[in-house]
Amino acid sequence: MNRSQKVERVAPNALGRRVAERVSVSPDSLTASATPRVEGNALRRRPDIASTVAHLFRREAGRLVAILAGRLGAAHLQLAEDVVQDALLRAMQVWPFTGVPANPSAWLLQTARNRAFDALRRARLWRGKEAALAPLVEDCARAALAAPAPQFEDEIRDGQLRLMFACCQPGLPAEAQVALILKTLGGFGEREIAAAFLTHEAAVAKRLVRARKFLRTVRAAVDLPRAAQLAPRVDPVLHALYLLFNEGYKASHGDSLLRADLCAEAIRLGELLAAHPLGDRPATHALLALLPLHAARLDARVADDGSLLVLAAQNRSRWDRAQIHRGLIHLEASAAGDAITRYHLEAGLAAGHALAPSFEKTNWPHLLALYDSLLALDPSPIVALNRAVALARVHGAEAGLAALESIPRRRALENYHLFHAVHGQLLLDAGRPATAATALRRALALAPQPAERELLTRKLATSA
């Protein structure tokens, strides 16, 4: 799009901050029925509106992008993202005065459709294509607005599934495929994606630009591939859902340590995949075993005062037994095939913790054996770090410290706060408080979350 059509883009973590700021949208980014500019105070007086928009950003943005991309084609994925984000900004302007509509998703889709129509009409690049594309967008909004809520949900469900696979085009690097899914369906910003891949935001931004350009070049269709074409696309879809859940289980930045909405969304999308004949396979069920087994501990991870509780300090009576049962059902279903994936092994680890009567009675030798198998399958620094913790539980802190020293590509963990936190804890367990303090101070300097910094501060006090 040219400058006159540019839609204001807001990173996902910035959307909430816009609630407390002046909302200003360029006239060119709105349709003819543009609403006057609204001061942030209007939203402060209506915190329910702010929370509704924030919820819809995570819950609905990916779905609406999927619908529009399904109509416009994956080549115009950027346009679909832009107009959906603009619709969310419009909601922050309008809803404090008009109230939340009865069907907010349909309202957002109609607004996004208007913006897409405006962009199609103005863009010189698309001259000659408007007559073909505009009716598709019109039909998209008309169908969504006319259909009852359950039908609307069904349309979204199919669209999201198609878009996940459209992002996984052959010829596109796997990391770019995953990044696209996180961006379009998960609403991730570059910072969150960079944290998931232990890389820099600039690298992620370039990766996304190249990926969108690739989709435009190959004119990718937003459709489910044939069964023979599915296999190479399943792995990046599962990996994206895995990273989406991880960001919710421990947010990479911001004031909130947990993002239960992201965890729930990852499980929901995984269930959609498993419910489809093309996605009903052992690896999918293994992932769907892993995620609920971790989600069962969400409420117990934070104390009433907001402080972080490590696994040993959690009240296991607060663990969600229904989620554990759900995970175990999928774990059983995952045993149908012969292949063992990392999701099978990680689900086994999560089940070992979930079924242990207490932290002290956890079967650590069994977990260490699973970590050994996982490290053989995925010799990454993160897996080696987690294995070192289990090794220390079985053979003592000194064995764990030796394992830390031998981690392959350990330099990748130098700016990872959890590496230094584990190092400091093992030094404390080994009776070396002075050296432990150095490691814990490094972890404290790198920790992105207030709750983590508070926990590390308490540990530092014990090393004094």
In the predicted model, is pLDDT for residue 87 greater than 50? yes
In the predicted model, is pLDDT for residue 50 greater than 60? yes
Using only C-alpha atoms, what is the Rg of the chain? Answer: 24
Inter-residue contact 270 to 287 (CB < 8 Å): yes
Question: Which pLDDT band, with edges at 50, 70 and 90, does 30 fall under?
Answer: very low
More confident residue, 75 or 412: 412
Q: Is residue 38 classed as helix, strand or coil in its secondary structure?
A: strand
Q: Compute, in degrees rounded to 10, the torsion defined by CA atoms 119, 43, 61, 283.
A: 160
Question: Which pair of tokens denotes residue 142?
Answer: 């008309």
In the predicted model, is pLDDT for residue 18 greater than 80? no
More confident residue, 260 or 18: 260
Return d(Cα 248, Cα 355) in angstroms, integer: 23
In the predicted model, is pLDDT for residue 176 greater than 80? yes
Sign of the CA dihedral 248, 250, 251, 254? positive
Return d(Cα 49, Cα 91) in angstroms, integer: 9
Question: Which pLDDT band, with edges at 50, 70 and 90, does 288 fall under?
Answer: very high
Inter-residue contact 162 to 225 (CB < 8 Å): no
Question: Which pair of tokens denotes residue 170?
Answer: 């052959």
Question: Which pair of tokens denotes residue 257?
Answer: 């340590």
The residue count of the chain comes to 464
Angle formed by the axes of helices 417-429 and 381-395, to 10°?
Answer: 10
Q: Is residue 342 classed as helix, strand or coil in its secondary structure?
A: helix
- Name which of 44-53, 67-76, 193-202, 326-335 the model is least confident about: 44-53
**Adjacent-strand bridge partners of 308:** 302
**According to the 3-state scheme, what is the secondary structure of 298-326?**
CHHHECCCCCECCHHHCCHHHCCHHHHHH
* pLDDT tens for each residue of 124-172: 554 555 555 556 556 655 555 454 433 344 444 567 777 788 788 888 8
DSSP class of residue 297?
Answer: T
Question: Which pair of tokens denotes residue 349?
Answer: 């680890």
Inter-residue contact 404 to 388 (CB < 8 Å): yes
Mean pLDDT of all residues in 241-265: 82
* pLDDT tens for each residue of 349-400: 999 999 999 999 999 999 999 999 999 999 999 999 999 999 999 999 999 9
47-51, 83-87, 312-316: range with highest mean pLDDT: 312-316
Please give the single-letter amino acid code of residue 210.
R
Question: Which pLDDT band, with edges at 50, 70 and 90, does 74 fall under?
Answer: low
Return d(Cα 391, Cα 88) in angstroms, integer: 48
Residue 380: count of CB within 10 angstroms of its CB: 17
Inter-residue contact 194 to 201 (CB < 8 Å): yes
Q: Is residue 23 classed as helix, strand or coil in its secondary structure?
A: strand
Q: What was the pLDDT predicted at 253?
A: 67
Inter-residue contact 95 to 202 (CB < 8 Å): no
Residue 60: count of CB within 10 angstroms of its CB: 20
Per-residue b or e along 443-454, where b marks 16 or more CB atoms closer than 10 Å to that residue's CB: bbebbebebbbe
Q: What was the pLDDT predicted at 213?
A: 86
Please give the single-letter amino acid code of residue 329.
I
Q: Is residue 456 classed as helix, strand or coil in its secondary structure?
A: helix
Mean pLDDT of all residues in 406-416: 89
State the residue for tokens 């104390």.
Answer: 303
User: Which segments of 277-416 does DSSP mark as H helices, in order?
Assistant: 282-295, 321-333, 342-355, 364-377, 381-395, 397-405
Question: Which pLDDT band, with edges at 50, 70 and 90, does 15 fall under?
Answer: very low
Query: Would you kindly state where each structural domain of the chain is located, as residue ranges?
Result: 1-146
Query: What DSSP letter does each residue of 202-261 carry, written as one string?
Result: HHHHHHHHHHHHHHHHHT---SPPPHHHHHHHHHHHHHHHHHHHHHHHS-SSSS-S--HH
Question: Which pair of tokens denotes residue 244?
Answer: 């989406």
Q: What is the mean pLDDT of the chain?
A: 79
In the predicted model, is pLDDT for residue 275 greater than 80? yes
Return d(Cα 77, Cα 222) in angstroms, integer: 10
In the predicted model, is pLDDT for residue 77 greater than 80? no
Question: Which pair of tokens denotes residue 213?
Answer: 């350009």
Inter-residue contact 322 to 346 (CB < 8 Å): no
Sign of the CA dihedral 234, 236, 241, 246? positive
